[in-house]
Amino acid sequence: MLGAITHQSAIDITKLNEIGQGAEGRVFEFIDDPTTVYKEYFLSSQSPPNLRALQDLADLPAKWERADQAWINTRTAWPQSSVVDHGRLRGYLMKRIPDTFSFTHGLAKRPKQVLCDWNYLSMRNRYSNNTKLVSEIPQPSIPQVVELIVDLSKTLEILHRHDVVVGDISGRNIIWTNDPTWRIMLIDCDGFRVRGSTGVNFAKQTPDWEDPEVTQLRTTRQSDIYKLGLAAYRSVWAATTDRPPRGLHSARVPQGAPNQIHSLISRSISPTGRPSASDWVHELTATPPSPGTPYSPSPNRQAERKPQQSRNRPVIPMTKGDSKDPGD
């Protein structure tokens, strides 16, 4: 649970099983703790991850109100504690992403379980028309896409209110589900940064998601808003990696989307005068939808997918050592 943090944890490598690998490191599951995973960095002498920054990030939610803690706990894979080897940050522990964000998807001969990320929203028309694919990924209506955008906006509003910059918002780092409601989850949260402080890793922006106003890779809350605008445009218009056109403010709003959506997107990608995440939440929930499908919260969608074995079993206590940094 967020707020109950042990800075440095001892792990038994004999109880680890690798389940994934990315550009920055590998992810392991614990044989005796199905609720927790360990991300281990690929270490580089040129840009080693910042131990103090990770510890500060892990501790941060404990200072917030409980309602904000509870929301962020279900909307992020927040770092919980650091793993240190001889004073050097090797990785961190985080909660495992719930099964409800994984769906069967792929070619009919070899479908597999995939995390349902934002890219599936922007490419949903392509997938829905491909007869060679087998997919259980939900096909949301425009109003349901808007529900996801509101959920993302509210998550950013809480983070920004607490001076947290997400930074690398992209189609791969936002996952979503309709079980039990339409909601999102942010992953790769070690890329988050407290405004004015150093990040855990060297700041980066995913190609096709860069804010042209960002210099020297110093992402800000304003660049988060730019990427929120991109995420909204690409999901509502199913526009893959396209950038919103300059004339978007005069374009016809897709049926079922709030009339204010094009104004929010246009303002968000402008060099100045960008709205806040709070503005996004307020305007999307206060503005009636365009003619077409009524915009109202979706009912529980759990029945639309095949049941999966839940990983949300009681936490098996994991040994956490009090190992000290030799430099202390």
Query: CB–CB of 182/148 below 8 Å?
Result: yes
Rounded to an integer, the average pLDDT of 242-262 is: 82
- Of the given ranges (167-171, 186-190, 291-295), which has the lowest mean pLDDT? 291-295
Rounded to an integer, the average pLDDT of 299-311 is: 40
What superfamily would CATH give domain 117-296? Answer: Transferase(Phosphotransferase) domain 1 (1.10.510.10)
Residue with tokens 């379980």: 113
Q: The pTM is what? A: 0.83
Residue 309 Cα distances to 102, 105, 271, 300, angstroms:
11, 17, 47, 18
Classify strands 16-21 and 174-177 as parallel, antiparallel or unpaired: unpaired
Q: Is the pLDDT of residue 140 over 90?
A: yes
Q: Which residues contact 108 (CB under 8 A, 6 or more apart)?
A: 132, 133, 134
CA distance 243 to 234: 8
Architecture of domain 13-96 in CATH? 2-Layer Sandwich (3.30)
Q: Is the pLDDT of residue 322 over 50?
A: no
pLDDT by residue (tens digit) across 87-129?
Answer: 889 999 999 999 999 999 998 888 999 999 999 999 888 777 7
Dihedral over alpha carbons 195, 200, 203, 204 (to 10 degrees)? -130
pLDDT by residue (tens digit) across 45-90?
Answer: 557 889 999 999 999 999 999 999 999 999 999 999 999 888 889 9
Residue 303: predicted pLDDT: 35
Domain boundaries defined on the chain: 13-96, 117-296
Question: How many residues belong to the chain?
Answer: 328
